[in-house]
């Protein structure tokens, strides 16, 4: 597959042109990558209104992911999420949303989704159930969605503009996207999916990518699971919704994004297209098999490994009475750096770029870890409150109200004014406009959140 962006920059590097343009390093090596770092010079195209080499590269990505259209972001899925919500909101207004401008969403949203709601003046109705064992999980089923939508239909309260799901979740749980998409179709609602952790799902033996399974629009963080520089992401639009969403999505990416997108990141996305055509499916399959083997080995030693998406190894350390944080520290002694660790879990993210030595280190750690020796009593890890949190203000009202940063221990009963997150995974414990309750206060303590911004 051709790599038009990468090839253009390579040609410019060898042209010997004097760089009387940005960036200020002029291609001279400081980090070493500066020679490939350019701006919107003649022939380089412009990301916000792509019509040349960037448009060609995006078309190649769309072909690979089997979408109606694929747009690039050099500012991660955070930018894509804002664009997705603006696209569904504007479309709903065109089709007579009648003031019901809210999203029905699983609770494990990334903080950028809440930011988008504040900027767009949208509200979010969160689906609360008793199946969540962590702030990083939200086990929403098609039946949950159907029950809520049917209730709204009977009560005449009005449908949301869209249903919003984060899948895979940070702990590797995967929602039944196909089933949820079917429910959304029945109620004439688009399904929006934050697929930040699942770009690779399109290249399994049987694609499990949200667009393939019926989502109207979704985002992938390419840099999370593919060999792309940090910040590289895709916004995918289904062919069925292309006419409705494409132009608004493009405008939204420009509206919320930087006017100086990274050409290093764009070249990385461009090269990834070629990478995906060069035996990637076979390499991915081999990697998935290797991960499955590791999981079985860990389970055989009595380590509590969760059933997750193919490229995550998630260990419930609380089962053995240890925190994920202390387990992660022990792993570092074996040369292993985890993706995430908290009071009860450790998350390892794997790709085909991991080496045999990487897997050997996991096996060496597993042979002597305290998770199988001297087990203690299981730790109790609280999930979200089973009751919907009390909301006193809209998200937008809370975000743009005068606020003050206070000690989290003194926040009980106050109105949250800014996202309270454990970062990563940047999942909000309390959402702007909600009254901070005892369960939230306890989560602040567990996840070491010291300060909370509240409405003053």
Sign of CA dihedral 443, 314, 357, 265: negative
What per-residue confidence (pLDDT) applies to 131? 65
| 200, 351 Cβ separation under 8 angstroms | yes
Predicted confidence at residue 128, as pLDDT, reads: 79
> What is the value of pTM for the model shown?
0.95
User: What is the C-alpha separation between 181 and 177, in angstroms, rounded?
Assistant: 6
3-state helix, strand, coil in the chain (%, to 5): 40, 15, 45
Q: In this structure, what token pair is assigned to residue 221? A: 């963080």
Q: How far is CA 25 from CA 21, 30, 85, 265, 450, in A?
A: 10, 8, 37, 17, 40
Q: Give me the pLDDT at residue 135, please.
A: 78
CA 403 – CA 370 distance, rounded (Å)? 45
- Cα angle 85-89-95, degrees, rounded to a multiple of 5: 150
Res 133: pLDDT: 67
For the stretch 210-253, pLDDT in tens is 999 999 999 999 999 999 999 999 999 999 999 999 999 999 99
CA distance 349 to 357: 15
Contact between 180 and 192 (Cβ < 8 Å): no
pLDDT at position 57, please? Answer: 98
At 280, list the tokens: 């990637």
**DSSP class per residue in 355-391:** -HHHHHHHHHHHTT-TTTSS--PPPP-----SSPPPB
- Are 191 and 219 a contacting pair, CB within 8 Å? no
The 3-state secondary structure of 267-335 reads: HHHHHHHHHHHCCHHHHHHHHHHHHHHHHHHHHHCCCCECCCCCCEEEEEHHHHCCCHHHHHHHHHCCC
pLDDT of residue 98: 64
Task: Tell me which DSSP letter residue 106 carries.
Answer: E
Q: How far apart are CA 4 and CA 13, in angstroms?
A: 14
pLDDT score at 97: 66
Q: Count other C-beta atoms under 10 Å from residue 295's C-beta.
A: 20
pLDDT at site 138: 76
Closest of 229, 203, 202, 206 to residue 218, by C-alpha: 202
Q: Are strands 312-316 and 340-341 parallel, antiparallel or unpaired?
A: unpaired
Segments of the chain with pLDDT less than 50: none
């Amino acid at each position: 597959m051709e790599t038009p962006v990468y090839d253009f920059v390579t040609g410019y590097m060898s042209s010997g042109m004097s760089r009387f343009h940005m960036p200020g390093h002029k291609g001279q090596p400081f980090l070493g990558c500066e020679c490939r770092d350019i701006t919107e010079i003649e022939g380089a195209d412009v990301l916000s209104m792509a019509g040349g080499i960037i448009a060609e590269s995006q078309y190649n990505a769309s072909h690979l992911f089997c979408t109606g259209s694929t747009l690039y972001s050099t500012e991660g899925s955070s930018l894509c999420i804002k664009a997705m919500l603006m696209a569904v909101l504007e479309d709903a207004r065109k089709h007579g949303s009648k003031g019901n401008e809210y999203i029905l969403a699983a609770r494990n949203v990334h903080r950028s989704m809440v930011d988008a709601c504040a900027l767009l003046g949208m509200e979010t109705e969160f689906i609360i159930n008793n199946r969540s064992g962590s702030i990083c999980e939200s086990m929403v089923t098609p039946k949950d969605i159907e029950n809520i939508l049917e209730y709204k239909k009977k009560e005449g309260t009005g449908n949301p503009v869209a249903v919003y799901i984060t899948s895979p979740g940070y702990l590797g749980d995967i929602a039944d996207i196909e089933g949820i998409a079917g429910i959304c179709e029945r109620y004439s609602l688009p399904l929006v999916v934050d697929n930040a952790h699942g770009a690779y799902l399109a290249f399994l033996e049987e694609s499990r990518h949200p667009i393939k399974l019926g989502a109207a629009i979704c985002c992938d963080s390419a840099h999370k699971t593919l060999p792309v520089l940090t910040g590289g992401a895709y916004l995918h639009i289904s062919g069925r919704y292309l006419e409705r969403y494409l132009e608004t999505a493009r405008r939204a990416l420009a509206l919320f994004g930087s006017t100086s997108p990274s050409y290093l990141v764009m070249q990385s996305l461009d090269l990834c297209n070629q990478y995906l055509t060069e035996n990637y499916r076979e390499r991915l399959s081999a990697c998935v098999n290797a991960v499955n083997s590791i999981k079985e080995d860990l389970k055989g030693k009595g380590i509590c490994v969760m059933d997750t998406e193919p490229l995550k190894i998630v260990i419930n350390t609380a089962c053995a009475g240890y925190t994920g944080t202390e387990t992660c520290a022990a792993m570092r002694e074996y040369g292993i750096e985890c993706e995430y660790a908290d009071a009860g879990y450790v998350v390892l993210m794997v790709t085909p770029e991991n080496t045999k030595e990487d897997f050997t280190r996991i096996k060496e750690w597993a042979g002597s870890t305290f998770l199988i020796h001297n087990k203690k009593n299981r730790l109790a890890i609280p999930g979200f409150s089973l009751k919907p949190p009390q909301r006193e203000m809209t998200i937008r009202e809370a975000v743009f109200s005068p606020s003050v940063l206070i000690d989290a221990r003194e926040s009980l009963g106050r109105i949250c004014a800014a996202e309270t997150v454990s970062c990563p995974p940047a999942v909000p414990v309390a959402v702007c406009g909600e009254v901070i309750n005892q369960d939230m206060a306890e989560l602040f303590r567990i996840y070491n959140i010291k300060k909370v911004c509240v409405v003053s």
